[in-house]
Amino acid sequence: MQTLRASKCGLSTAQLPSSILDVIDALTKAGYEAYIVGGGVRDLILGLNPKDFDAVTNATPAQVKEVFGRRCRIIGRRFELAHVYAGRELIEVATFRAPPKKAVTSASGMILRDNNWGTIEQDFARRDFSINAMYYQPRKGIVLDFCHAIDDIKNKTLRLLGDPTLRFEEDPVRMLRTLRFAAKLNFNIAPEILEIFTPEMTQLLRDISPHRLYDESQKLFTMGHLNRVLPMLIDFGIWRQLFADISPDISTFIERAAINTDQRIQIGKTINPAFFYAVLLWKPFLERCDFYLGKGIVPAEARAQAGLDVLKRQATRTIIPRFAETFIREVWEMQTRLLNPKPQQIQALSTHARFRAGFDFLLLREKSGDDTTQGMGLWWDAYQQMSTDEKERAISQYNRQRAKSRRKATTEDVVETKPVAAVTEIEPLVNEPEPRSRRERKSRAKSEKPVQNVASGGSEIGYDHPILKRKRVKRDLSQVIFGPTQ
Ligand code: ATP
Ligand code: MG
């Protein structure tokens, strides 16, 4: 172990928010050891802006609670952690961890239970990469480096602690972390990792809960280097593990969306990570729509059904939370509305909660060479810049053109042949998801008129349609094994 001077690593307390200093100081004052560890230290040394700071201590979670009282909450059971609220921020305080006492590993060697407190040396050996295992004591101005991690930082090398095969077997998510950090930091993956990082190895990800994989996929999407990591996901065989039906091929649309996401993050704009899922799953969605249309199902219903199917298939890999699924389906549904809006609904549509995301999606499609958008991406783009008068003129011009092309059209969409209702109200983009409990479902069923389902050729998907009865996989906390953010 070498003790480095913090200032030599480019670290100073001035770079730290008061929240983390407050936590370190309170623990030290109470007689415990406390360090900043992980990504915060790594990123500061690299001159990057850390996402957050994690603390580690020899105090047990119960002792941390004693120090911080009501500001502290202990979370997790198999992997206990203390959450300390410092001002508006939340600091995760972990206790030094030793290897699990008994062999609580799965058949493939994955650690399943993990609440065994230990020493700093043991804690170090349990961390994933050398560069994530530097312990910074800001008040003493020192960094404890157990494995010459500082050299790996200088040489831009991502090195796993211990035997890479064992470390991947213990926690296959480390494979995703490898690609994430390599892309985010622009580091080289150490040769001993490359040697064993095979498509067979990625099969181990099948044992990871789809909930945890969803969380990891979000981290990949939002780290600011999505465009760099996508080809890596394909090259290392991770793509197939994460995305059930998306062919491993980066279309112009996907690439543009990735670049766009990265740019937004760079300039500090918010992003909705579900948006990228909407992009990834767009092609499978269209294919599934065609499938239903081919069966003679009316378009609106085909879309609803296709959306549910595609998301259900994806849930076998990453379980997208219900609110994000609704977002995705709404973005897709917006595509139809924006492509062929009823003139009297244009204004209302442009103020719809999902308009922005739907429009961004449409424009991205258009700019990626998708001519099925019929130029409507640019039309909406221009529309938003117009004054009220200009908007009115644009709408009536659109109306005239629409009427013209309708007269021309020989075959018309069933939905579109309905007389245009003189209302400006917009129907919900997607139907409410089914209630979760059986009792709620029953009471909704009673209050609803009987509806026909797809199989009987009706125009609605009934509450009892099999597609709506999908079961949610319960989150399996036994597999959450390491790392404050898990
Ligand atoms: P960032 O927060 O920038 O994504 P990070 O390195 O801080 O990166 P976290 O997931 O916040 O990543 O985890 C904090 C630290 O916990 C890591 O730096 C690492 O030391 C440890 N850690 C997290 N996950 C694992 C894991 N799966 N295996 C081993 N150690 C882990
Ligand atoms: Mg972190």
Residue 416 has pLDDT above 50, yes or no: no
Q: Per the domain annotation, does 399 fall within a domain?
A: yes
Ligand 1 contact, 216 CB (< 6 A): no
Residues 429-467 as b or e (16 or more Cβ within 10 Å = b): bbeeebeeeeeebeeeeeeeeeeebbeeeeebbbbebee
Give the model confidence (pLDDT) of 420-436 as tens digits. 444 445 566 676 556 55
CA distance 96 to 250: 42
In degrees rounded to 5, what are phi and psi of residue 83? -105, 120
Smallest CA-to-CA distance from 324 within 280, 363, 294, 284 is with 280
Neighbours of 412 (CB within 10 A): 9
CA distance 346 to 383: 10
> For the chain, what is the radius of gyration of the CA atoms?
26
Write the residue with the smallest CA distance to atom 1 of ligand 1: 39
Q: Per the domain annotation, does 109 fall within a domain?
A: yes
Give the model confidence (pLDDT) of 247-279 as tens digits. 898 999 999 999 999 999 999 888 888 999 999
pLDDT category at 103 given cuts 50, 70, 90 is low
Q: Per the domain annotation, does 478 fall within a domain?
A: no
Q: How far is CA 147 from the centre of its chain?
A: 32
pLDDT the model gives residue 264: 94
pLDDT the model gives residue 408: 74
Tell me the residue ranges of DSSP E strands in 157-216: 157-158, 188-189
pLDDT the model gives residue 444: 58
What is the 8-class DSSP label of residue 427? -
Tokens of 105: 């590993």
Which residues crowd ion ligand 2, with CB under 5 Å? Answer: 39
CA distance 394 to 384: 11
Ligand nearest to the CA of 483: 1
Tokens of 205: 């990800």
The continuous run of DSSP H or E covering 34 comes out as strand 34-37
Beta pairing, strands 142-145 & 81-86: unpaired
* Cβ–Cβ under 8 Å, residues 34 and 42: no
CA distance 150 to 143: 10
Q: Per the domain annotation, does 146 fall within a domain?
A: yes
Q: How far is the CA of 475 from the centre of ligand 2 (A)?
A: 22
Ligand 1 contact, 133 CB (< 6 A): yes
Q: Which amino acid is at 101?
A: K
Give the model confidence (pLDDT) of 326-347 as tens digits. 999 999 999 999 998 888 888 8
Q: How far is the CA of 231 from the centre of ligand 1 (A)?
A: 23
Write the residue with the smallest CA distance to atom 24 of ligand 1: 483
CATH number for the domain that contains residue 98: 3.30.460.10
85-108: average pLDDT: 81
Neighbours of 473 (CB within 10 A): 12
Residue 478 has pLDDT above 60, yes or no: no
Q: Per the domain annotation, does 178 fall within a domain?
A: no
Q: Per the domain annotation, does 162 fall within a domain?
A: no
Handedness of CA 414, 380, 376, 359 (dihedral sign): negative
Neighbours of 146 (CB within 10 A): 18
pLDDT the model gives residue 403: 82
* Cβ–Cβ under 8 Å, residues 233 and 239: yes
Neighbours of 147 (CB within 10 A): 20
CA distance 87 to 141: 24
- Domain end (from 361, 386, 417): 417
CA distance 461 to 451: 7
In degrees rounded to 5, what are phi and psi of residue 303? -65, -45
Which of 100-109, 296-305, 409-418 shows the lowest mean pLDDT across its residues? Answer: 409-418
Q: Per the domain annotation, does 8 fall within a domain?
A: yes
Tokens of 395: 């709408």
- Domain end (from 363, 397, 417): 417
Structural domain for 413, as ranges? 332-417
Give the model confidence (pLDDT) of 144-179 as tens digits. 999 999 999 999 999 999 999 999 999 999 999 999
Ligand 1 contact, 39 CB (< 6 A): yes
Domain total in the chain: 2
The continuous run of DSSP H or E covering 73 comes out as strand 72-75
* Cβ–Cβ under 8 Å, residues 84 and 93: yes
pLDDT the model gives residue 116: 82
Tokens of 180: 């994430």
CA distance 40 to 312: 36
Q: Per the domain annotation, does 35 fall within a domain?
A: yes
- Domain end (from 95, 121, 155): 155
> Which residues are designated catalytic?
52, 54, 128
